[in-house]
Structure 1
Amino acid sequence: MRTLFLLNPAAGKQDCTASLIPQIEAAARRAGLAEGEYTVCVTEYAGHARELAHAAAQETAQSGEPLRIYTAGGDGTFMEAMTGVQGFPHAAVGCLPYGSGNDFLRTYGTKEEFADLDAQLAGGEVTIDLLETNLGLSATICAAGLDAQVAYGIPKFRRIPLCGGEVAYLLSIVEQLCGHIGRKLTFTIDGEELTVDCLMCAICNGKAYGGGFLAGPEAVPDDGWLDVFIVRKVGRLTIAKLLGMYKKGRHFAHGQLTEEAKPYFIYRRARCVALRPVDGRGPIVATADGECAPCDTVTAALQPLAGRILLPKPAYERFLKKHAVV
């Protein structure tokens, strides 16, 4: 088996490479990995993790040698590597949480479990569904509307001196709330067409996005279904109430919307979702696992059991127990 560590120095608040490389080397020795059995690479530009993962998968494909890739970064770095190994059934990807969001892991366990290198190397591989979107592959959630607009606006505020992550996030929220709230969108959900005055929406394969918002609190990433939540347009005074409910996952329980959420949310289960603005105001901002961009249309189609992921030992054991695998 070959093991590859891909470290993104640009992820998160500070460069993780200086401290992480010696920790990886020590954990590899404890796991019994010889020097030639693992490689540590530092990414140099956007898309580099995808290229390195693809090259490693190609190199090991002929022999069929199992390939384990661990990305140290955020959801974007993880999905770059996942995209790079598509089509190679001998390759699986795991994540070490050194990004700003790390929402992928929230479906399976805690940040502490995923940061434990010994637990990672002692863990195992499972297969999950993926989303094929017009923004690229996604393991968790594709979203559009107010929340995506906030994420899209953060980078420009980070360029202002003394504007760190949280300050930039708050400034972006203020900017969006001072602008035009809501979009009129037409959704096509497994053939059903809905036109809605919409604040935001989330197409969920996993539970969380946006740094911990539990948009899909009961989403199961290997059940062959997407949980689709559409939030109706509301006044500014109601937005804070909705966001509080949404962040904690209080809008959905036991397979249905809660009574508190029913006036504001539309829920569907689906395998394919598309949406497009019909208000004449141009593209809508969408986001998916680290990618964020204005789109004329947003599409998300389920790819059943298309992703092979690595889970640290505690999360892997819970996954097996939940799925009654022995």
Structure 2
Amino acid sequence: MSASVLFDAPGPKARVRNLIYSVVGSIGLAALIAWVCYRLYDKGQFAGELWDIFNYAGIRQNIFDALLSTLKVFALAGVFSLAFAVVLCVARLSDHKPVRWVAVVFIDLFRSIPLLITIFALWVGIVGDMTPMWALVLGLTIYNGCVQAEVLRAGVNAVPKGQVEAAYALGLRKTQVTASVLFPQAVRSMLPSIISQLVVTLKDTSLGYIILYPELLYSARLIANNTPVGGVYPTVQTVIVFGAIYIGLCLILAWLAKFVEQRGRRSKAGIVPAQANEPKEVAAAGTPDPGAPGDAASKD
């Protein structure tokens, strides 16, 4: 019997006990799912006519407009947060102590404050009148910029020190070293974490419903609460439709992350030099043949 280096292989009693736990847990989970389904069925949530609301052109247009609003906020917040993260990361790694400490305090402060509080504070006018869209964009930019800055800093610190020393030995300035040596490798190594945080940014756009921004969750609440069919609100149907939209958007981002990572891996590997036969041919041509007449004459 082989055992893992992390734990001992379970014995007969342990296997029986684990089997009992698995069976009991599965039965409990199945019972919970059955109870939830029964409650939804009892409230009429499985009625087929509840899906008819999505056949109306007005409902479909509402969903499409909410999707565009969500993507617009996500695009702006994603780009701004990455640019802001670069600025914060550079300040965090600065040799000047005041600049470094300001960046540390700012990052720790806004990473500690709940994002919803930041968005709501911006919307109610803490920095002047601001539309719901820009309050949401700015709140997402500040929070995700702070998180992405720490991700980039971890990537920069992971770059081998020898490469930095070699760059300085070539006469490069610190700005050139940061831009051409540190950040390209940091982005490449931390790309999965960066894309993962962008997925979080996409999902956090749903906080816009608090400040009445017409994004996907706001539209879902309107549809679920204001379009009853036979006295029953289409809660389950709305959750399924809008949940599928969110899942689709996240899968697209995951595919994009995988695509960019594969491209980065190929570019990191570089171009493999071909095994040219030319040097061998040249060497063979330059090697004298002992049996040739000219060689014998030269020897004579």
Q: TM-score interval w.r.t. the shorter chain? A: under 0.3
Give 1 or 2: higher helix fraction.
Answer: 2
Give 1 or 2: higher strand fraction.
Answer: 1
Q: When the two structures are superposed, what TM-score results if normalisation uses the length of structure 2?
A: 0.24
Larger radius of gyration: 2
Q: When the two structures are superposed, what TM-score results if normalisation uses the length of structure 1?
A: 0.23
